[in-house]
Structure 1
Amino acid sequence: MSNEPCRINIDVSIMKLTQPEDRRELDESEIHNVLRNDRRRETLRYLRESEGSLSVDDLSEHIATLETSESPPPRNVRKSVYVSLHQTHLPKLDDLGIVAYDQRSKELTLEDRVREVEVYMEVVPQHDVSWAAYYLGLGALELVVLFAAKLSLFSVEILDFEFWTWFFLALFVLSALYHIYSEQEKALF
């Protein structure tokens, strides 16, 4: 035996596997890839509603109910949803750092990186109008009314041009305040 010190070579690639992932911002293509799938979008939305934590079983039940419009959903659909979430969608969200997915306990929690995705998730219910469409409509209505008031059309001249200007300014400000308030309630964090 030699008295030389023992040398240990550490493979750097193995160390990279145990270190936290690169915390760069998600690029738009990654975010769009996440959001183009209905089940991933619904996962993020439902986690937000559940105050950021829930089990895969509850999530599977919820998504299967949405997809089938049956409560409780058929067992085979619930199982199919569970398998696709467990094998594909949740690991993807976990790898990107958007959701923490514990595969042993089958529990999910939202991560801080979900804020990067939230910007792209203006969730508009089926029979609702987006804020962008609302503001566009309000602006178009204001233009029509102010134009009509200026030209004394459609009995709009009963109230003068200055009234309509202040009215729509106040309406825009109140709308913006309500928009800010409602978005804070829906914020993921």
Structure 2
Amino acid sequence: MASVQRTPQLTKYEIHDVLRNKRRTWVLEQLQQTRKPIPLRELSEQVAAVETGETPPPRNIRESVYNSLHQTHLPKLDELGIVEYHVDRKIVAQAEGFHQVTLYMEVVSADDVTWATYYLAVGCVTLVVITLSSVGLPVFAALSVTGWSILFFALFALSALYQRVSHESIYLDVLHFRDDD
């Protein structure tokens, strides 16, 4: 398979087809969480653990997951340019098309918050604080509306910068992996 160099836009149908299979979705979640290339054996064990809810998962399930990833799912994801699957090295990494799919599946752990929810919360807090400051409520009036606006604008800007840098580091990890070939 050794990674087909394909980076055109994926269609919504292709993305839906990828995400409708739980094992493929779990592969993408694992790659998004680790942000680094993963050996197939480790990936299949993680997917089997998610599938069964057992750690370690039963051997027969691990083998079944390993075989289906190796023979079906990873070649399909590689062909679409979503992952790079190096059959000879049994290594899986994010490819350039990876982010086209993850736009449709923001992966968040149970105790985490999505970026959309974070920005919504900051926006609501900003609105409340600026409103309370403008009506002169003592605690909030200590800083002018302009002061609060600058403070929250800076928070939005720093948050966006952090989000951008963290996503860029994922992309750079993938490029570094590609250069090792």
- TM-score, normalised to structure 2's length? 0.74
Q: Cα gap change, 1:128/1:53 in structure 2, threshold over 3 Å: closer, same or farther?
A: closer
Residue of structure 1 in register with 2:148 after alignment: 164
Residue 67 of structure 1 aligns with which residue?
A: 51
User: Are the aligned partners of 1:124 and 1:130 in contact in 2 as well (CA < 8 Å)?
Assistant: yes
How far did 1:44 drift? 2.9
2:127 corresponds in structure 1 to 143
Structure 1: which 5+ residue stretches go unaligned? 1-19
| Aligned counterpart, 1:38 | 22
Which protein is richer in helix relative to its size?
A: 2
Cα 1:94/1:58, change in 2 over 3 Å: same
* Match status 1:134 vs 2:118: yes
For residues 186 and 158 of structure 1, do their structure 2 counterparts lie closer, same or farther at Cα, with a shift above 3 Å needed?
same
| Of 60, 73, 76, the match for 1:89 | 73
Is residue 35–residue 170 contact of structure 2 (8 Å, CA) maintained in 1?
A: no
SS at match of 2:10: coil
Specify the alignment match of 2:90 in structure 1.
107
Structure 2: gaps (5+ residues): 176-181
TM-score normalized by the length of structure 1: 0.71
Deviation at 1:102, TM superposition (A): 5.5
**In the TM superposition, what is the alpha-carbon distance from 1:141 to its structure 2 partner?**
0.8
Q: Highest relative contact order (Cα 8 Å, sep 6+), 1 or 2?
A: 2
Partner SS, residue 97 of structure 1: coil
Q: Distance in 2 between matches of 1:172 and 1:46?
A: 28
How far off is 1:25 after superposition? Answer: 2.7
Whether contact under 8 Å (1:145, 1:164) holds in the other structure is yes
Counterpart for residue 52 of structure 1: 37
Query: Could you say what secondary structure the match of 2:39 adopts?
Result: strand
What do residues 60-110 of structure 1 show as CA deviations (whole Å, max 9, x unaligned)?
A: 11211233343321112212322332343223213323334466x472444
How far off its partner does 1:144 sit? 0.9
Residues 120-129 or 110-119, more deviating: 110-119
Distance 1:107 1:170, change over 3 A: same
Change beyond 3 A, Cα 1:66–1:138: same
Output one character per residue of 1:91-130: Cα deviation in whole Å (capped at 9) or x when no partner.
3213323334466x47244444334334444322222111
Contact 1:47-1:54 at 8 Å conserved across structures: no
Matched residues, number: 168
Task: Quote the residue 1:6 is aligned against.
Answer: none
Identity across matched positions, percent: 44
What is the letter of the counterpart of residue 15 of structure 2?
Answer: I
